[in-house]
Amino acid sequence: MIESFAGKTAVLTGAGSGFGLECARIAAQRGMNLVLVDVQQDALERAREELQATGAQVLARSVDVSDAAQMEQLAQAVQQRFGAPHFVFNNAGVGSGGLVWENSVRDWQWVLGVNLWGVIHGVRLFTPMMLDAARADPQWRGHIVNTASMAGLLTPPNMGVYNVSKHAVVSLSETLYQDLRLVTDQIGASVLCPYFVPTGISHSERNRPQAMEGEPFTASQRIGQAMTSKAVESGKVSAADVAAKVFDAVLENRFYIFSHPQALGNVQSRMEHIVRGENPPDPFAERPQVGEQLRAALRGG
């Protein structure tokens, strides 16, 4: 576990807003060097200015995390400026909904590209650097946190592309944890599974690739966007609250990080149905009115 953050280096993707920015603020308060990564240039620049003003050493890079070459260039820049990072927060993410058969190939490529391939690139590029540093110094400690979602542990309807991406991140992160345990005691791993927290993800369309400009939203996507935005924006747990939980988990070397532990009853119900070989449970059992509203909207009622 990382016991002290001062003088260490943090790499944070999606650092222009939400969890990434809030974790960067905590990292700066604790004396870390910062590598800020975001695809949205104006948000990235605001974050860089704010955090440099605190006295932190900052390397800010506009990077599409789904792009292997851009991520490889980022890793090289981090190595040259700060050496191996101690804390890697593979956090960049986008949201997209709709009935699973209505999503276009570009929808799948965009969401999986950012949410899954972004994490894959972060893991494949930074883990070897961290392992090299650990081998060179028995006192060296590092930690990797990947942002998934409660949608990585559940299967809410009308959110298929997002669910698939986040389930994959949970699986990748659990495997990373087990793989690291085989080869080192110096590097930990965690997965962040937030529920409805007000961040910029409910407005992900602002960062849709240029190739998707003008591509119309389906009716189910518009319905899903409206319902998700309402749920996210009414969330009582803030991104800053979640960032504090992330740092607590790193200090405690704790794998699962939940913003809303009370939602784990739904996860337990899903797992029990799997073990018993039963059909998936009603996702709206606790909020039947939401299910009725979604069903009526999708059926045009």
Sheet holding 87-90, edge to edge: 58-62, 33-38, 9-13, 87-90, 142-147, 187-193, 256-258
Identify whether the C-beta of residue 5 lies closer than 8 Å to the C-beta of residue 34: no
Other C-beta atoms lying within 10 Å of the C-beta of residue 184: 16
- Nearest-angstrom CA–CA distance, 16 and 239: 12
Residue 217: φ, ψ to 5°: -85, 140
Question: Is 256 considered catalytic here?
Answer: no
Identify whether the C-beta of residue 164 lies closer than 8 Å to the C-beta of residue 112: yes
Q: Quick one: pLDDT at residue 201? A: 52
Structure tokens at 4: 């002290």
Strand partners, 159: 98
Q: Which amino acid is at 254?
A: R
- Nearest-angstrom CA–CA distance, 138 and 143: 15
- Nearest-angstrom CA–CA distance, 160 and 87: 30
Identify whether the C-beta of residue 125 lies closer than 8 Å to the C-beta of residue 13: no
Annotate 139-197 with three-state secondary structure.
CCCEEEEEECCHHHCCCCCCEHHHHHHHHHHHHHHHHHHHHHHHHCCCEEEEEEECCCC
- Nearest-angstrom CA–CA distance, 174 and 7: 28
Task: Give the pLDDT band of residue 290 (cuts 50, 70, 90).
Answer: confident
Q: Quick one: pLDDT at residue 228? A: 77
Q: Quick one: pLDDT at residue 202? A: 47
Say if pTM beats, i.e. exceeds, 0.95: no
How do residues 174-206 score in pLDDT, each as one tens digit? 999 999 999 999 999 999 999 987 665 545 455
Q: Quick one: pLDDT at residue 43? A: 96
Lookup result for tokens 């939203």: 217
Q: Which amino acid is at 14?
A: G
Task: Give the pLDDT band of residue 162 (cuts 50, 70, 90).
Answer: very high
pLDDT (average), residues 146-167: 96
Q: What is the CA radius of gyration of the chain?
A: 19
Give which of 183, 125, 171 is closest to 146, Cα–Cα: 171
- Nearest-angstrom CA–CA distance, 84 and 231: 38
Structure tokens at 109: 């490529």
Give which of 136, 91, 292, 219 is closest to 282, Cα–Cα: 292
How do residues 22-39 score in pLDDT, each as one tens digit? 999 999 999 999 999 999
Other C-beta atoms lying within 10 Å of the C-beta of residue 297: 17
- How is the chain split into domains, by residue range? 9-298
Identify whether the C-beta of residue 63 lies closer than 8 Å to the C-beta of residue 70: yes
Q: Quick one: pLDDT at residue 254? A: 98
- Nearest-angstrom CA–CA distance, 173 and 195: 18
Query: Which residue among the candidates 162, 177, 195, 256 is catalytic per the annotation?
Result: 162
First vs last C-alpha separation in the chain: 54
Mean pLDDT taken over the chain: 92
Q: Which helix (H) or strand (E) holds 18?
A: helix 18-29
Q: Quick one: pLDDT at residue 217? A: 85
Exposed (0-12), middle (13-18) or buried (19+): which is 269, by Cβ within 10 Å?
A: middle
Selected from 3.30.70.870, 3.20.10.10, 3.30.300.30, 3.40.50.720, the CATH number assigned to the domain covering 9-298 reads: 3.40.50.720
